Amino acid sequence: MTTPASTPPASPSPSPPWALLAELTHGCPLHCPYCSNPLELVRRSRELSAEEWGDVLRQAADLGVVHTHLSGGEPLLRPDLAAIVAAADSAGIYIQLVTSGVGLSAPRLSALVSAGLRSVQLSVQHADPASSDRIAGKRSFAAKEHAAALVRDAGLPLGLNVVLHRDNLDAVDAVVDLGVAWGADRIELANTQFYGWALRNRTALLPTRDQLSRARDAVERRREQLAGTTELVWVVPDYFDGVPKPCMGGWGAVSLTVAPDGGVLPCPAAGGLPDLDVPNVRDRPLEWIWNSSPAFNRYRGTEWMSEPCRGCPRRETDFGGCRCQAHALTGEAARTDPACALSPDHALLRAVAETPRSGTAPYVYRGPGPGTARSPRTV
């Protein structure tokens, strides 16, 4: 253990967490260039067993967790997924599956529903099948369409997740049409957040301001049109708005992420921060990790902040933005997120956002071996 940079506050105890993101595996048939998994992917042999996951989920329920997203990688790669679902359900946790759709069959879904699965979020990369396959680095669109139909047939709520970037923002109308046609109750249109794989692919993924403003108008229009039927969620592009996102609703405030090897993080990207001393459920109770670990207390509340955050009226609204982005762009995780117009580092991000760009650039597809830049896959 390294010495923590700041002493955790003795009291009062933090509010209980509402949600747990369970990254059951980093294995995935897709290779999306903006993947939220870390650059250093956890090997399959280091993954928690279903029994260990059951224990984590029971501890989480005791701590106050109400929701879990079973995610990955691709959670369907776990043959013991139904056992994990059953453990979460018997702990009283509401279970949502986050999947690429690849590997979902009627019998598989039926087993998961019997075990207690409540809802499914399906990722889609583009409304056009060939473009979706190209972005995913894998022929997968047909499997997604099939998965959506299975989820609807099973009577489960269906959400569509679409990460937006330069190569699909112009198709946002078509993406909404696709979601409606597939029977989605909710379509999450999430502008790419640039750290990890997405930061590595920033040149290829960063949109233009014009693209964003057209897409935003389209979403507003469609939201009015679809009111009461399909919910449209727009996750803001923080490079362009001058306002940082209230990342995770605050560090260690609302939710936690458990990585495939049992590492516990305040957000999926936080493993990329240096010297965080990531606590692990294999060594410590989840209660200690949430309430007392140096990692979860490091950026909790407002005490850690420096100016301009410290005296800012928005400090309890956006919590100084994203620690991972501050670290990625300035080298210091405790600085104000450069996405904020008040940040002394904001020019760093403006310069990137305003750089003229056109055409397409090759992707570095997600895969094992973070150092390897690979040429675009053919699919």
Partner 1 sequence: MTGWRPALERSVVLRHDRVRRTYLLVLPERVVVLEGRAADVLRLCDGQRSVDEIVDVLAARFPGAPVTVEVPRFLDRVRQEGWLR
Q: Which residues bind partner 1 (CB under 8 A)?
A: 16, 18, 62-64, 66-67, 92, 94, 96, 118-119, 155-157, 159, 185-186
Quote the least distance from Cβ 64 to partner 1, whole Å. Answer: 4
Residue 196's nearest CA partner among 279, 268, 280 is 268
**CB hemisphere CA count around 348 (13 angstroms):** 17
Residue 275 three-state SS: coil
DSSP state letter for 143: H
Residue 307, classified by CB atoms within 10 Å of its CB into exposed (0-12), middle (13-18) or buried (19+), is exposed
Is the Cβ of residue 64 or residue 331 nearer to partner 1 in the bound state?
64
Is the Cβ of residue 246 or residue 376 nearer to partner 1 in the bound state?
246
Beta strand segments in 100-204, E: 117-123, 158-164, 186-191
Quote the least distance from Cβ 286 to partner 1, whole Å. Answer: 13
DSSP string, 112-132: HHHHTEEEEEEE-S-SSHHHH
Is the Cβ of residue 246 or residue 370 nearer to partner 1 in the bound state?
246
Is the Cβ of residue 231 or residue 261 nearer to partner 1 in the bound state?
231
Listing from the earlier edge strand, what are the strands of the sheet with 231-235?
231-235, 186-191, 158-164, 117-123, 94-99, 67-71, 19-23, 255-258, 264-265
Residue 161's nearest CA partner among 88, 72, 275 is 72
Quote the least distance from Cβ 231 to partner 1, whole Å. Answer: 9
Is the Cβ of residue 95 or residue 135 nearer to partner 1 in the bound state?
95
* Tokens, residue 300: 């909790």
Is the Cβ of residue 159 or residue 272 nearer to partner 1 in the bound state?
159
Is the Cβ of residue 148 or residue 276 nearer to partner 1 in the bound state?
148
Quote the least distance from Cβ 25 to partner 1, whole Å. Answer: 22
DSSP state letter for 299: T
Amino acid letter, 37? N
* Tokens, residue 50: 């279903």
Quote the least distance from Cβ 335 to partner 1, whole Å. Answer: 31
Is the Cβ of residue 136 or residue 151 nearer to partner 1 in the bound state?
151
Quote the least distance from Cβ 331 to partner 1, whole Å. Answer: 34
Quote the least distance from Cβ 254 to partner 1, whole Å. Answer: 10
Quote the least distance from Cβ 358 to partner 1, whole Å. Answer: 36
* C-alpha 264, offset from chain centre: 15
Is the Cβ of residue 128 or residue 185 nearer to partner 1 in the bound state?
185
Residues 370-373: contacts with CB under 8 Å, at least 24 apart: 370/39, 370/40, 370/41
DSSP state letter for 188: E
Distance separating alpha carbons of residues 307 and 305, to the nearest angstrom: 7
Quote the least distance from Cβ 206 to partner 1, whole Å. Answer: 27
With vertex at residue 308, the alpha carbon angle to CA 305 and CA 311, rounded to the nearest 5 degrees, is 75
